[in-house]
């Protein structure tokens, strides 16, 4: 029986040659490389039925003698490694392509695509190597659980404040402005005392954010809540309390659920956009309302002499706390600049990263 020539399809990468021989149920296969020539011989069902098939290919450049092959019910797959990782212009040494040879378009890549595939493989291997070298934190689950619960509690607290104030505003109208403190203060005290954790968490490495921006925001709010509103009964009935509490809660009902979902590696795109966008108008308005509260409290502190600082008799009787409040106003707007800059950097970094991933 005269041996026939099968159909052969080929493709390449920088380091390998792939051949697909159209013989099903291949048997008695003899495949090897001698003097840079691939010799194939075997029996199976090909284009002309059950026959013996063979062919030879002299490669364009040197290859390694080891040949890998696998026979399936449909074809014989052959892999040959190149001596050098270079791209070949053609497969065979002879310029004219053999009639039985054709490109394997299922695996075909041009040189640029192959380089991209190679880089992706290398990046994946490097990522796996880096991840294997990084020591896993045994307390990671516990830390995420703690942060999830913290953000959940804060979200529930500020949601209660926001909903309560909104409902009262619709029912009572402007009258709700004057008893906001007596209605909301207990929950606000709880949330703001708990917010001290936002300074502790980055300080001990639980979260990767700056300590100073969190310190400025938390301490600034607590100063307004505990010193301005908490110590002066005259301030507790003023409408400014409503605006301060409402603006605080409006920011936090988007911020805390975002962090809560981040603890479980979940993202909601609309919530992400709101978390990094809604503070742009609300944060300056919140600082402005806090400044109004400080300005309104200055004459009250002057009149009551509350929290005045005693001075030596040679200098004077005492230093009015109102001077400290005036200094605090300057610090407040300086802190606004620092936090605004920090938040804008966070926002641009976040959306720049998302855009890069999308591309």
Candidates 209, 188, 185, 187; CA nearest to 198 is 209
Choose the final residue of a domain: 64, 94, 110.
110
- Evaluate whether residue 144 is within a structural domain: yes
Q: Locate 352 and state its tokens.
A: 């720049």
CATH of the domain at 26: 2.60.40.790
**For residue 269, with 0-12 CB atoms within 10 Å meaning exposed, 13-18 middle and 19 or more buried, which class applies?**
exposed
Asked whether the predicted pLDDT for residue 160 surpasses 60, the reply is yes
Ranked by mean pLDDT, which of 104-113, 131-140, 150-159, 206-215 comes out on top?
150-159
List 54's β-bridge partners, or say none.
41
Q: Residue 249: which pLDDT band, with cuts at 50, 70 and 90?
A: very high
Q: Phi then psi for 268, rounded to 5 degrees?
A: -115, 115
Task: Please tell me whether residues 103 and 248 are part of one structural domain.
Answer: no
What is the Cα–Cα distance from 282 to 286, expressed in whole angstroms?
6
- Evaluate whether residue 230 is within a structural domain: yes
pLDDT digits (tens, 9 = 90+) for 124-154: 766 666 555 555 667 778 889 999 999 999 9
**Percent with pLDDT over 70 in the chain:** 89
Task: Please tell me whether residues 170 and 87 are part of one structural domain.
Answer: no
Task: Please tell me whether residues 177 and 81 are part of one structural domain.
Answer: no
pLDDT digits (tens, 9 = 90+) for 197-209: 999 998 888 888 7
Catalytic residue status for 290: yes
Catalytic residue status for 283: yes
Could you tell me how many residues make up the chain?
359
pTM over 0.75: no
119 or 270, which is more confident:
270
Active-site pick, 18, 178, 189, 283: 283
- Evaluate whether residue 207 is within a structural domain: yes
Domain extent, residue 274, equals: 139-356
Torsion-angle region of residue 120: left (phi > 0), alpha (psi -120 to 50) or beta? alpha
Mean pLDDT of 258-280: 89
What is the Cα–Cα distance from 275 to 77, expressed in whole angstroms?
54
Give the model's pLDDT for residue 354.
Answer: 55
- The CA dihedral of 9, 11, 16, 19, to the nearest 10 degrees, is -10
Task: Please tell me whether residues 201 and 345 are part of one structural domain.
Answer: yes
- Evaluate whether residue 133 is within a structural domain: no
What is the Cα–Cα distance from 26 to 43, expressed in whole angstroms?
6
Give the model's pLDDT for residue 293.
Answer: 95
Give the model's pLDDT for residue 352.
Answer: 65
- Evaluate whether residue 60 is within a structural domain: yes
Q: Residue 257: which pLDDT band, with cuts at 50, 70 and 90?
A: very high
Give the model's pLDDT for residue 355.
Answer: 52
Active-site pick, 22, 198, 252, 290: 290
As a three-state string, the secondary structure of the chain is CCCECCCEEEEECCCEEEEEECCEEEEEEEEEEECCEEEEEEEEEECCEEEEEEEEEEECCCEEEEEEEEECCCCEEEEEEECCCCCCCCCECCCCCCCCEEECCCCCCCHHHHHHHHHHHHHHHHHHHHHHHCCCCCCHHHHHHHHHHHHHHHHHHHHHHHHHHHHHHHHHHHHHHHHHHHHHHHHHHHHHHHCCHHHHHHHCCCCCCCHHHHHHHHHHHHHHHHHHHHHCHHHHCCCHHHHHHHHHHHHHHHHHHHHHHHCCCCCCHHHHHHHHHCHHHHHHHHHHHHHHHHHHHHHHHHHHCCCCEECCCCCCCEECHHHHHHHHHHHHHHHHHHHHHHHHHHHHHHHHHHHHHHC
What is the Cα–Cα distance from 101 to 103, expressed in whole angstroms?
7
Q: For Cα atoms 348, 352, 354, give the angle at the middle one, nearest 5 degrees.
A: 120
- Evaluate whether residue 131 is within a structural domain: no
List 58's β-bridge partners, or say none.
37
Give the model's pLDDT for residue 204.
Answer: 87
Mean pLDDT of the chain: 86
Asked whether the predicted pLDDT for residue 353 surpasses 60, the reply is no
- Evaluate whether residue 121 is within a structural domain: no
Give the model's pLDDT for residue 132.
Answer: 57
Task: Please tell me whether residues 222 and 345 are part of one structural domain.
Answer: yes
Mean pLDDT of 158-183: 94
- Evaluate whether residue 283 is within a structural domain: yes
What is the Cα–Cα distance from 275 to 208, expressed in whole angstroms?
17
Asked whether the predicted pLDDT for residue 223 surpasses 90, the reply is yes
Task: Please tell me whether residues 95 and 150 are part of one structural domain.
Answer: no
Ranked by mean pLDDT, which of 28-42, 287-301, 321-335 comes out on top?
287-301
Task: Please tell me whether residues 59 and 154 are part of one structural domain.
Answer: no
Asked whether the predicted pLDDT for residue 17 surpasses 80, the reply is yes
Mean pLDDT of 227-247: 94
Q: Locate 84 and state its tokens.
A: 């050098």
Give the model's pLDDT for residue 130.
Answer: 58
Number of domains the chain contains: 2
Mean pLDDT of 192-218: 88
Q: Residue 99: which pLDDT band, with cuts at 50, 70 and 90?
A: confident
């Amino acid at each position: 029986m005269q041996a026939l020539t099968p159909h052969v399809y080929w493709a390449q990468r920088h380091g390998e040659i792939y051949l697909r021989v159209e013989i099903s149920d291949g048997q008695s296969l003899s495949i090897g490389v001698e003097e840079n020539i691939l010799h194939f011989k075997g029996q199976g069902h090909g284009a002309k039925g059950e026959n013996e098939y063979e062919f030879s290919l002299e490669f364009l450049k040197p290859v390694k003698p080891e040949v890998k092959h696998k026979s399936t019910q449909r074809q014989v797959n052959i892999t040959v490694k190149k001596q050098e990782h270079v791209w070949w212009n053609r497969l065979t040494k002879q310029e004219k392509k053999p009639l039985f040879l054709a490109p394997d378009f299922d695996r075909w890549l041009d040189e640029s695509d192959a380089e991209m595939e190679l880089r992706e493989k290398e990046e994946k291997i490097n990522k796996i190597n880096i991840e294997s070298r990084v020591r896993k934190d045994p307390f990671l689950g516990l830390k995420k659980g703690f942060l999830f619960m913290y953000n959940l509690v804060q979200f529930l607290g500020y949601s209660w404040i926001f909903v309560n104030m909104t409902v009262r505003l619709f029912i009572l109208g402007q009258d709700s402005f004057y008893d906001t403190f007596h209605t909301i203060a207990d929950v606000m005290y709880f949330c703001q005392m708990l917010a001290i954790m936002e300074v502790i968490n980055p300080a001990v490495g639980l979260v990767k954010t700056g300590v100073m921006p969190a310190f400025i925001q938390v301490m600034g709010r607590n100063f307004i809540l505990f010193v301005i509103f908490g110590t002066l009964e005259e301030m507790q009935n003023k409408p400014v309390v409503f605006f301060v509490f409402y603006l605080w809660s409006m920011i936090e009902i988007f911020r805390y659920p975002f962090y809560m979902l981040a603890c479980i590696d979940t993202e909601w795109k609309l919530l992400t956009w709101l978390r990094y966008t809604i503070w742009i108008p609300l944060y300056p308005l919140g600082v402005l309302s806090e400044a109004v509260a400080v300005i309104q409290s200055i004459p009250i502190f002057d009149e009551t002499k509350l929290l005045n600082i005693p001075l030596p008799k040679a200098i004077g009787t005492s230093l009015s706390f109102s001077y400290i409040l005036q200094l605090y106003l300057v610090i407040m707007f300086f802190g606004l600049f620092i936090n605004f800059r920090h938040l804008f950097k966070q926002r641009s970094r976040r959306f720049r990263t998302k855009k890069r991933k999308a591309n």
